[in-house]
Structure formats: C-alpha cells, structure tokens
Amino acid sequence: MRCGELLIRSYDSHIDRARVEDLERRCEVGPAQRVFLFTDTLGDPICRIRNSPMYIMLVAELDNELVGVIQGTIKLVTLHNLTKVGYALGLRVAPLHRRRGIGLRLVLKLEEWFIGNDVDYAYMATAKDNEASVSLFMKLGYVNFRTPAILVNPVSHRMYHSSSTVEIKKLMAEEAEVVYRRFMSSMEFFPDDIDSILRCKLNLGTWVAYPRGESWDYSNGQFPSSWAMLSVWNSGELFKLRLEKAPISCFIYTKSSRLMAKLVPSCFKLRDMPDFFHPFGFFFVYGLHREGQASGKLMRTLCKFVHNLAIKSSEDCKVIVTEVGGGDRVKLHIPHWEFLSCPADLWCIKSLKNEEGTQHVNDLTKAPPRTLFVDPREV
Ligand SMILES: CC(C)(COP(=O)(O)OP(=O)(O)OC[C@H]1O[C@@H](n2cnc3c(N)ncnc32)[C@H](O)[C@@H]1OP(=O)(O)O)[C@@H](O)C(=O)NCCC(=O)NCCS
C-alpha cells in the first residue's frame, strides 16, 4: 500500500489511537467562517463504525507522522433492489499536509477495499458548503444524490406535558423489526440488518403513538386509524460533540439567557439554550414513519416524548437530532431550531461496477426522492 513516501495502512489501535485522536482534535469540519464541530471519541476513534456489519479505518503516514485518516463501512440496503453499498466517512487530513493529494489517495484506497468486497455503490455525506470535501469527491466521479435535512432541537430543562388523547407504546425489538420490514423496507437505504440496529445496546427503543381508545395489535395485522413511529439511538454513549467559534448570535444567546435567568428567575421566559461549548451527548431519532390523517400530531407527540426521555434518562444529552429526506413532509412535524439545523446535507454516490451501475446511478439521481432511511450508525 505504498504510494511514494505516503504509507496507507489499516488502523492499529496500539500505535494509532492517540495519534488519530490528536488529528481529530486538530481538524475542524466545515467552512472556516462558521461553526466548528469537534468530536470526542472517548478513547475509541473507531467507535462510529464499530456497530456496522463490516468496517475499516485507514491511516496515512508520512515519515512516521500520521497525516490522514478515513473510515468505511459496508452493508446491504434497499436501492433499486437489495444492493451492497460502501459508506465513506471521517475523512481527515492534517491541516499542514492539505492539498497534496492525501485525501484523494485515502478515498481511492478505501474504494479498493469496497471493490474487493463486491460493493456496488460508494456514497458519502457532507455539509453542502464543505467545498474541500465536495470538490474532492466530485473529482473522483461522485455525483449529487440526495439532500436530506438535519433537524436539531435543544433539550430544555422543562418537561413537555403528555397528551391525554394519545397512547404511546414501546415496542419489543422483534415487533419493531416486523413493523419496519412491513412499512419501510422499500425506502431508500433501508438496511437489511435492521434487526441488529434494533438490538444494539445504543438503541434506546422504538415507540408508536396512536389515538387513545384504539388498539395496537400488529400480530393480527390491525393498526390504529392513525399512528406514528420512531426509534431513538443514544449517540452520546459513543462520542461527544463540542462547538467552537459558534456564530455570535448563538454565543450571545447562551450568555444573555443565563444572565437573565440569574437576574429575573421568576419571570424567565426564554427557552434556555444549552451550553454547547463543553462536550455533550445527543440522541439520534431515526426510522420515522406515519400512517393516517392524524399522524402529524402523533409524530409531534412522540418527539415531545423523546425530549422528556432525554431529560429523564441522560445527564449530558443536550440536543435531539434527526435526519429526513429533503422532500419528506414529516419534517413539518418535528420540532427543531432553524439556526441549529442544516436544511440540506449533501449525499453523493458513485457506481463501483460497470456502466450498467452508472446508468442506475443516473436513474436514481433523476428519480424523485423517496423517503430516506438514515442509519443511526452513520451519524
Ligand atoms: C477535505 C480534506 C480531507 C481534503 O484533504 P486534502 O488532502 O487536502 O485533499 P487533496 O489534496 O487530496 O485534494 C484533492 C482535490 O480535492 C479538492 N480540494 C481539496 N481541498 C480543497 C479546498 N480547500 N478547496 C477546494 N477544493 C479542494 C481539489 O479538487 C483537490 O485537487 P487539486 O489540489 O488538484 O485542486 C481536508 O481539507 C480536511 O481534512 N478537511 C477537514 C475535515 C473535513 O471537512 N472532512 C470531510 C468530511 S466529509
């Protein structure tokens, strides 16, 4: 795997762990004039991919210095049919070594691993305005595929009232799997190993909401007139986030709301903005599905339920995050703060097989977006 002086090899926790963590600390993600989001992997740099069926981390070394890293996972998902896809994530190159082709070579090496494992398509996700990342992948033949919205809602200190007209029920993993396979298996990127996601210890559970008075009896195939469903993944168990160089509005809001809380606690009405400048965890909400006329309200009730769950069950969960397809109307029912959210994340895709595969990619990109299943393991 030698390319000139650059050595690209598999990650070895004994010799690379501390150096990869150090690289991660030195690498901002996103454009310089905006927020820098740092990830603290809590001593396990490979934690983001560990729960995937197949995974790899590659490191790039130059004269014994660790200068770059990339991670990849492989799984089976629904695309035009059941398809093997490789996901490229966590690409980082040390600031002093950028624009020397290291990022490009890391992606190419990862693609070799994908091809060796019979992957049909490689894909990646990035912020639309991450020019470096977008240009790099475009140069390698990736094309724009989908622009899902990342919706972020801060966890406040106050619990929401639960609705007296809505029943909320937690599903067992087996039941959740049956319902997901029945209603969501044709959605884009639905993972074939949904059962292992639902049984993972990071999965806090799957809940359904339906009108009180009706019954939920999935074994007889009977569903309420309207219902909504979601699952919750505790990403904060894996890694923490920390903000730096936040927009000035965000900074002022944090400071001033605290100040006001001290000065006028009894009439304090502003929603208290959490402190994002110290490491914090988050819940990722995925597998959102709804049926029936009243399902929008039921989805909102479920989201409030998740907010209360975050207050009750986690000390450091400061935000609830979800990602839904760009055109998915479910986002109208998910509470979120616009200025913390990202209206259009960018997913790019590339066929690693023959021309027929490329043709499929063209068909996929031209087709109107279907509902997207965002795998919590890829956050
Ligand atoms: C994105 C990143 C990995 C690129 O690494 P790199 O080693 O500098 O990239 P390369 O030298 O291989 O660049 C290959 C091509 O990508 C494009 N590119 C790379 N950096 C770019 C930049 N800052 N602006 C515009 N295009 C850029 C160019 O087309 C470049 O080819 P060229 O140098 O011949 O013009 C690096 O900037 C980085 O670590 N950024 C912070 C972390 C991040 O945002 N990761 C991506 C998350 S998905």
| pLDDT per residue as tens digits for the range 322-333 | 999 888 899 999
List the Cα angle 137/358/57 in 5-degree steps.
40
Q: State if pTM tops 0.75.
A: yes
Cα 342 to middle of ligand 1, angstroms: 21
Interatomic CA distance for residues 267 and 60, integer angstroms: 56
Asked whether residue 251 is assigned to any structural domain, the reply reads no
Asked whether residue 250 is assigned to any structural domain, the reply reads no
In this predicted structure, what is the pLDDT of residue 379? 87
Interatomic CA distance for residues 240 and 60, integer angstroms: 25
* Confidence bin at 260 (pLDDT 50/70/90): very low
In this predicted structure, what is the pLDDT of residue 265? 41
| pLDDT at 1 > cutoff 60 | no
68 and 130 in a single domain? The answer is: yes
* Confidence bin at 183 (pLDDT 50/70/90): very high
77 and 175 in a single domain? The answer is: no
In this predicted structure, what is the pLDDT of residue 4? 58
* Pocket lining for ligand 1, CB < 6 angstroms: 27, 29, 91-93, 98-104, 126, 130-133, 135-136, 139
Instruction: Please list the residues that pair with 70 across neighbouring strands.
Output: 58
229 and 320 in a single domain? The answer is: yes
Asked whether residue 185 is assigned to any structural domain, the reply reads yes
* Confidence bin at 351 (pLDDT 50/70/90): very high
In this predicted structure, what is the pLDDT of residue 268? 38
| pLDDT at 252 > cutoff 60 | no
Interatomic CA distance for residues 345 and 118, integer angstroms: 27
Domain of residue 167 covers 152-241+272-340
Q: Taking all residues of the chain, what is their mean pLDDT, rounded to a whole number?
A: 87
Instruction: Please tell me which of 28-32, 229-233, 235-239, 262-266 the model is most confident about, judged by mean pLDDT.
Output: 229-233
Q: Check residue 377 and report its DSSP letter.
A: G
196 and 230 in a single domain? The answer is: yes
In this predicted structure, what is the pLDDT of residue 5? 87
Asked whether residue 265 is assigned to any structural domain, the reply reads no
Q: Pairing relation of β-strands 166-171 and 281-291?
A: unpaired
216 and 98 in a single domain? The answer is: no
Interatomic CA distance for residues 129 and 91, integer angstroms: 16
Cα 243 to middle of ligand 1, angstroms: 22
Asked whether residue 247 is assigned to any structural domain, the reply reads no
Interatomic CA distance for residues 334 and 299, integer angstroms: 7
pLDDT single digits (tens) 122-159: 999 998 889 999 999 999 999 999 999 999 899 988 89
CATH number at residue 81: 3.40.630.30
The b-or-e profile of 116-129 (16+ CB within 10 A means b, else e) is eeebbbbbbbbbee
24 and 118 in a single domain? The answer is: yes
Beta carbons of 334 and 299 less than 8 angstroms apart: yes
Residue 332 sits at φ, ψ, to 5 deg, of -65, -20
| pLDDT at 83 > cutoff 90 | yes
Asked whether residue 142 is assigned to any structural domain, the reply reads yes
Residue whose Cα lies nearest atom 27 of ligand 1: it is 132
DSSP string, 218-248: GGGTB--SSEEEEEEEEGGGT-EEEEES--H
In this predicted structure, what is the pLDDT of residue 368? 76
8 and 58 in a single domain? The answer is: yes
Asked whether residue 256 is assigned to any structural domain, the reply reads no
Which of 133, 134, 140, 347 for mutating ligand 1's site (highest number of atoms within 8 Å of CB)? 133
Instruction: Give just the sign of the alpha carbon dihedral 47, 287, 322, 74.
Output: positive
Cα 102 to middle of ligand 1, angstroms: 8
Average pLDDT over residues 115-124: 96
133 and 42 in a single domain? The answer is: yes
176 and 212 in a single domain? The answer is: yes
Which of 28, 59, 89, 93 for mutating ligand 1's site (highest number of atoms within 8 Å of CB)? 93
| pLDDT at 233 > cutoff 70 | yes
186 and 291 in a single domain? The answer is: yes
* Confidence bin at 357 (pLDDT 50/70/90): low
pLDDT single digits (tens) 16-69: 999 999 998 888 665 544 555 677 888 899 998 999 999 999 999 999 999 999
| pLDDT at 321 > cutoff 80 | yes
Instruction: Tell me how many domains the chain contains.
Output: 2
Interatomic CA distance for residues 25 and 19, integer angstroms: 10
In this predicted structure, what is the pLDDT of residue 282? 94
Residue 211 sits at φ, ψ, to 5 deg, of -60, 135
Beta carbons of 125 and 89 less than 8 angstroms apart: yes
| Residue keyed to tokens 């499929």 | 360
Beta carbons of 85 and 350 less than 8 angstroms apart: no
212 and 319 in a single domain? The answer is: yes
Average pLDDT over residues 191-210: 97
Query: Is residue 157 packed enough to be buried (19+ CB in 10 Å), middle (13-18) or exposed (0-12)?
Result: exposed
CATH number at residue 223: 3.40.630
In this predicted structure, what is the pLDDT of residue 162? 83
Cα 138 to middle of ligand 1, angstroms: 11
Average pLDDT over residues 290-307: 96
With pLDDT > 70 as the criterion, what percentage of the chain qualifies? 88
In this predicted structure, what is the pLDDT of residue 2? 45
Residue 136 sits at φ, ψ, to 5 deg, of -60, -50
Any idea how long the chain is?
379
99 and 234 in a single domain? The answer is: no
Asked whether residue 114 is assigned to any structural domain, the reply reads yes
Instruction: Please tell me which of 210-219, 225-234, 349-358, 364-373 the model is most confident about, judged by mean pLDDT.
Output: 225-234
